[in-house]
Amino acid sequence: MTKPRLSSIGTALLLAAGLLTVASVPGSANVATSVAAAPLTGMTAAPGFVSVAASAPKRDALAKVAVIGTGGTIAGKSESRVGFQSYQPGRTPTAELVQYLQPEVGQIADVSAVDFGGKGSGEYTIAEYHDLTRLVDEQLARADAVVVATGTQTMEELAYWLDLTVRSPKPVVVTGSMRPWTVIGSDGAPNLYNAIVLAASRRTHCFGAVIMMNDEILAARDATKTSTTRLDTIQSPELGILGTVDEKRVRLLRAPARTRDCAQPQQWRTPFDLATMPRDRLVRTEVVYTYADAGGEPITALATAGVKGLVAAGTPSPQQTTALMAAMQSGVVVVAANRNNSGAVYDTPGPVIPAEDLLPQKARLLLLLALSRSSDPAQVRSLFQRYGVTEFDPIR
């Protein structure tokens, strides 16, 4: 009896699921090439979309992954093996962390190590963020992917900064830990290993920066720190994770909207090219937290000190509203953001720019970059609409 022939789509699906081998399929060479070029997550695309896989590099040899260390808990040293919260951050060289993962990590990637700094994440300045972006792009010029190991306190901000400013579409994976490297049950080693696995897979090509923590992959824009002690602290409360890393298996279930422009580098890149934005000319922006009966004096003081942009986190008090109006009249650009972990601010009065669901600390970074490019409030608003809340649009 003649066996029924599978359609090319059916064959590709069975191959991807592991239910067929390439050798068992007539004309399998073409099918195998198709599957290798288009992983299951990108086998089909809506009209107007370009598959990320189609723009990703070929994977013939071990990926070159550069690990950049900035200090933080992951590089911390404790006085005892149970000093889970009592330790000194940033005391272990990055090369030493990578060496600890050998020989296993050497089987998945050709890993190099670079020390950027050894501080807690909250100690870094915006000027140093500028330097880190330039270093990441420099490493990506000769590596296939970069992993940035950092502290968790401002991890979400550093990751979002890199997301907005790195020029290369190659994978950038940010990781860290909640327990220092030297304690029993530290999450540092598995987090760094998984971050290298993810980076070496090159599956997040054109994703921008992502965070890899606690086996989960999160978009830099969406992630936030939710606990000062728990290992699952980095979460995306409203939008959820992008996928997971389970041993050597990378599972991607969704992608940031910017991947739609992967085949068009000029569209994919943001306009925040730090090569044309000197570190000493980045403007100052601040976040003002709102609460019941809050005074307006801090706002007035910040405007007087030369701050060019303010993010109001929450609904301002009457005193804050008066101070914000006066600040806007003096040229300060104001952004309204939600002070909660989810929800959005859409409608704002007059020239106030809505951050929608962008968290205040991230809206502050986007405002800083936008104002460093243009002092025109209309242009700043346009940049927020384009890069602060990137949405999938099948008509584009």
Q: Is 73 a catalytic residue?
A: yes
pTM assigned to the model? 0.84
pLDDT at 342: 87
Work out the number of other CB atoms within 10 angstroms of the CB of residue 297: 11
Q: Which one-letter DSSP state was computed for residue 294?
A: -
CB distance 210 to 174 below 8 Å: yes
- Domain positions in the chain are 63-268, 283-388
pLDDT given at position 197: 98
Q: Is the peptide bond before 103 cis (omega within 30 degrees of 0)?
A: yes
Strand order in the sheet with 285-289: 285-289, 309-313, 333-337, 353-354
Under 8 Å between Cβ of 235 and 224: yes
* Phi, psi for 109 (deg, rounded to 5): -160, 155
Q: Which residues of 302-313 are buried (b: 16+ CB within 10 A; e: fewer)?
A: bbeeebbbbbbb
Q: Which residues pair with 337 in a beta bridge?
A: 313
Say what the pLDDT of residue 1 is.
42
Residue 203 CA to residue 201 CA, distance in Å, equals: 5
> Can you give the pLDDT at residue 32?
31
Q: Do domains 63-268 and 283-388 have the same CATH topology?
A: yes
Distance of CA 217 to the CA centre of its chain: 10
Three-state secondary structure string covering 356-387: ECCCHHHHHHHHHHHHHHCCCHHHHHHHHHHH
Degrees, nearest 5: CA angle 147-212-106: 50
Residue 17 amino acid letter: A
Distance, CA of 117 to CA of 69 (rounded, Å): 7
Write out the E strands in 168-305: 172-175, 209-213, 216-219, 224-225, 234-235, 243-246, 249-252, 285-289
User: Number of helices and strands (H, E) in the chain?
Assistant: 12, 16
Q: What is the CATH number of domain 283-388?
A: 3.40.50.40
* Residuewise pLDDT in 10s, the chain (396 residues): 444 433 333 333 333 344 344 343 333 333 333 323 333 333 333 333 344 544 555 566 899 999 999 999 999 999 999 999 889 999 999 999 999 999 999 999 999 999 999 999 999 999 999 999 999 999 999 999 999 999 999 999 999 999 999 999 999 999 999 999 999 999 999 999 999 999 999 999 999 999 999 999 999 999 999 999 999 999 999 899 999 999 989 999 999 999 999 999 999 999 999 999 999 999 999 999 999 999 999 999 999 999 999 999 999 999 999 999 999 999 999 999 999 988 899 988 789 999 999 999 999 999 999 999 999 999 999 999 999 988 887 665
Give, in order, the Cα–Cα distances in Å from 149 to each of 8, 92, 111, 243, 268.
43, 12, 14, 19, 25
pLDDT of residue 22: 38
Q: DSSP letter string over 119-163?
A: E-GGG--HHHHHHHHHHHHHHHTTSSEEEEE--STTHHHHHHHHH
Does residue 49 come out as left (phi exceeding 0), alpha (psi in the -120 to 50 range) or beta?
beta
pLDDT of 255 = 96
- Indicate which residue of 11, 41, 70, 73 is catalytic: 73
pLDDT on residue 349: 78
Q: CATH topology for 63-268? A: Rossmann fold (3.40.50)
Within 13 Å, how many C-alpha atoms sit on residue 63's CB side? 25
Q: How far is CA 152 from the centre of its chain?
A: 13
Residue 304: what pLDDT? Answer: 97
